[in-house]
């Protein structure tokens, strides 16, 4: 009877270990999903920031071009 009791206790301990590892696994899966969502959000934010940077660069080039044209127009008028 002692051997049978030991087997039951051993089996119970293994089942508890299995349950514990299953729980850890589920938590890690949830954590991985959370980080995946955060990464996707960060990538979207990076894309938006790049678009804003591109727009501001285009605006700056446009302003510089206007200033350059104005400079040459002003200097051309003065030389005549």
Structure confidence by residue, pLDDT tens digits, 2-48: 777 777 777 788 899 999 999 999 999 999 999 999 999 999 999 99
Query: pTM value?
Result: 0.58
pLDDT: which is higher, 70 or 21: 21
Cα separation of 31 and 17, whole Å?
Answer: 21
Phi-psi region of 14 (alpha: psi -120 to 50; beta: other; left: phi over 0): alpha
Span 50-58, average pLDDT: 92
Residue 49 CB neighbour total at 10 angstroms? 10
Q: CA torsion angle for 55, 56, 57, 61 (degrees, to 10)?
A: 100
pLDDT, residue 77, reads 53
Identify the three-state secondary structure at position 76: helix
């Amino acid at each position: 009877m002692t051997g049978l009791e030991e087997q039951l206790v051993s089996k119970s301990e293994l089942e508890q270990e299995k349950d514990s590892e299953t729980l850890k696994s589920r938590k890690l899966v949830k954590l991985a999903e959370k980080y995946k969502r955060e990464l996707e959000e960060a990538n979207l934010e990076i894309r938006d920031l790049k678009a804003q940077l591109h727009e501001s660069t285009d605006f700056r080039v446009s302003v510089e071009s206007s200033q350059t044209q104005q400079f040459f127009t002003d200097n051309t008028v003065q030389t005549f």
